[in-house]
Structure 1
Amino acid sequence: MHVPDGFIDAPVSVATGAVAAAAVAVSLRGARREFDGGADTGGFGAERTAPLAGLVAAFIFAVQMLNFPVAAGTSGHLLGGALAAILVGPYTGVLCVSVVLLMQGVLFADGGLTALGVNITVMAVVTTVVAYGIFRALVKALPRNRRTVTVASFTAALVSVPAAAAAFTGLFAIGGTTDVSTGKVLTAMVGVHTLIGIGEGLITALTVGAVIAVRPDLVYGARGLSRPLELRTTTVAAPARPRPAGAGDAAPEAAPAGAAEPSGARDASGPDPAPGAAPLAPEPAAAGRRSTRGLWLGGLAATLVCAGVVSFYASADPDGLEKVAHDKGFDAKAEEHAAKDSPLADYGVEDITNARVSGGLAGVIGVGATLAVGSGVFFVVRRRRSAEAGPASLPDRGTGAA
């Protein structure tokens, strides 16, 4: 759904650029709070969130290269707002998708530069806000278990895509450069993007489910769902003291009642879930101190494979917006991209004639650039958070975080 230059007029483009800039500014401040972590996160803080957020941005970039067919002659791809919000938080999620859109526009001529504000507003802000709102509502209403998180992730991601399509249609109705019936554009956009939303939901649910299966303590949307351990004690009688010689049949003297002995752990959050439920595993406070290096390296490997290998097999059909623009006659308004002469334009490396190698190398370069820029942004946010909070917020040297 990358909007090119020329679809939306200058005044609306400038206005959405201001909205996008304000949203990014608010998200920078909000991300500092998301990086903070708390007691319910088992020590999950900025030293773990920042590198994971950079990886999430790179993963979204890679998976956006994997267009999948949704209808005759139409394809779709991940938008990523729901996935980012659930994994690393809504404010950080807006920043993740914004970094991806910036890299795509500047390096790959994908999405207009004057339309960057439109794309951030529609693809980063709308998807993240809508998805996370639906996700939180479902998590609160449904039983507290892993299945709930997975179902909520799928539903939130699915709804976020047609919501973004409706947001674009609203902007087109205000500032579209072609006189086309808004009702027809809305029907076509929402219809095809509902189908795309199914793919978005599946990708999001599978990814969130995979991370929860390995490290539920690192999923922002699952914070508070892990059951903390609390020591339970029971009163037992101490062994009888030996009787002195000649004491006769006097009853043995017992130690005072009240001696306690650990007998396990109980759920401090309330009664046990209903039979058949699969609650998230209890997380001791030390869980947050586990290294994230293994997850980070595994995620990076999967990201590189998606961008460098799997992307070659992506559908070549036009995506939902391109197909609707062609069918409704406003695709001719698309302007030539300012970065059309970029050596990576159209996700290929200039002067490399082998399509497989050219596309794969471009994808790997894009992953590296997105990871570097995203990690840099989140590193700055982390440092500012640490500076504001004082020495107490500095990471524990024994955390083993990557």
Structure 2
Amino acid sequence: MSISPSLETETFEANEALAAAEGRLRHLKLDAQRALKIRAAYTTRFVATEFSKNAEDFHLVAGADVTPQPGDVVIARVAEIGKHTRLESPVSRRQLMFVGQEIMVAYGNRYAPDQFLAHVPDSLEPCHLVAGGGLAGYVTEMHASIDAATAIEPIGLLATKNGVVNLRDFAPLQVGTPSLAALRAVGTVRPPVIAVLGTSMNSGKSTTLGCLVNGLSNAGLNVAAGKATGTGAGNDPNLFIDAGAFPVCDFTDFGYPTTFKLAYEQVRDLLAAMIDEQAASGADVVVIEIADGLYQGETSRLLRDPLFAAYVDTVVFSAQDALGARAGLDVLQDTAVPVAAVSGLLTASPLATAEAASRLDVPVIDTYALCRPEVATALIPVRAASL
């Protein structure tokens, strides 16, 4: 005997209500109208594309025994507006958020000295939106000068019949599974690779990289650019595109909403995979940004890894002031990483630039001077390693 749809729905809802009362795993349906109203974040853009086309293939998983993992996609309700008032959309539009709205974000850890230190909670407990690009985490420390994080209430993890959805399930690039172009490039000569590093957040790394890309592009070169570590957001990739880079990718294209607290082997493999993919594009030069400062855990370890020396030919270092430039250069030279030039925020000040130039044995170049072809091309390393 067949069961009527209405009775089947009532039975499902009754079972789920009982599961909720007992704290057990629950599977919650998403109707089409509700799915349409969910605001997706930039970090979830590849998942959101499929969700918008086939929402009926998705449901939510909830319950006291659900343990989120980094990269898991969660539907959450905005509970209180704080530091982040807007959520960056899949096309990088800043969507104004309202209390009560449902948003699609990804769990991830965050390390941001001028904002938050946050971790992935071990349950679907109330937590925070810790980055406007769409990162859910629980704040444990914050900078004294900023507002408290926007509070969110997770409703459930997004899931399909195959299980909980993680960003890596829908990412166009995969660590450990090279694209056809990258496979075909094995054994060929890799183009020169320039890494842009800095003293800290907000030292001018992304602007330095953008200007360098622009200068190389103005010289008629094909430039590929990427961001290997950091917190997912569209600002930097869009800047690289605007500057003239193609192709452009970052760690979110590999399915990572953030790289903080990733196992070091994953960070290492991600850097190699990104450079391999960008080098295989036919670019004349590859430029890669490494986020945060030299003392940040994964960055510090990368610099001392033989893989970094094998893949990166030279560094342009971005600093906030002369002392930071000198200290950073000492760290880089101690690890035998070649440095082509120092640039960044300090070059906004002629006095700071002069101070740095008097103490450094590498050129100090005004950030926007990097847009000039002759300045940018002078930084291209001669050595190129084999894939």
Q: TM-score, normalised by structure 2?
A: 0.25
Report the structure, 1 or 2, having the larger helix content.
1
Structure with larger Rg: 1
Q: TM-score, normalised by structure 1?
A: 0.24
Q: Tell me: higher relative CO, structure 1 or 2? Use CA pairs within 8 A at least 6 residues apart.
A: 1
